[in-house]
Amino acid sequence: MDPLVEDDAEESSPWPTFQGRDALIYLIDASPKMFEKSAEENCSRIEMCLKCVGSALKDRIISSGQDLVGIVFFASEKQNQQEFSHITVCQELTMVSADFIKSVEAALGKS
């Protein structure tokens, strides 16, 4: 295959192209134990995870804003359109933005 010759088949591919960007998917345990608060902690483990993800996203938006990030909960009681049991896609793979960070902070408020 000649890299200088354009190929129409590649342009119509249903798969996204990353073009040198990194893609990171946070997998977060959403089992019932993660929602329990222990006596020595002020927040649950799921809250701590979401705070860490929020902090990492703020760093990532500054250092590499073109990278793609997604968030998936596993061992959850719910499922969404993908119909995988106990898997919930909280945030599809997308570029980090202020709205993305706000959605993580909103999830933190719901936990």
The tokens describing 77, both together, are: 């009681």
Q: Tell me: the pLDDT tens digits for 13-47?
A: 666 666 777 889 999 999 999 999 877 878 899 99
Assigned domain for 3 exists:
no
Assigned domain for 106 exists:
yes
How far is 37 from 65, CA to CA, in rounded Å? 34
How far is 104 from 45, CA to CA, in rounded Å? 15
Q: Tell me: the pLDDT tens digits for 98-108?
A: 888 888 878 76
Assigned domain for 104 exists:
yes
CATH of the domain at 47: 3.40.50.410
Domain count, the chain: 1
Residue 16: closest CA among 73, 95, 103, 98: 95
Assigned domain for 44 exists:
yes
Model pTM score: 0.71
Segments forming the whole domain that contains residue 46: 21-110
How far is 77 from 64, CA to CA, in rounded Å? 33
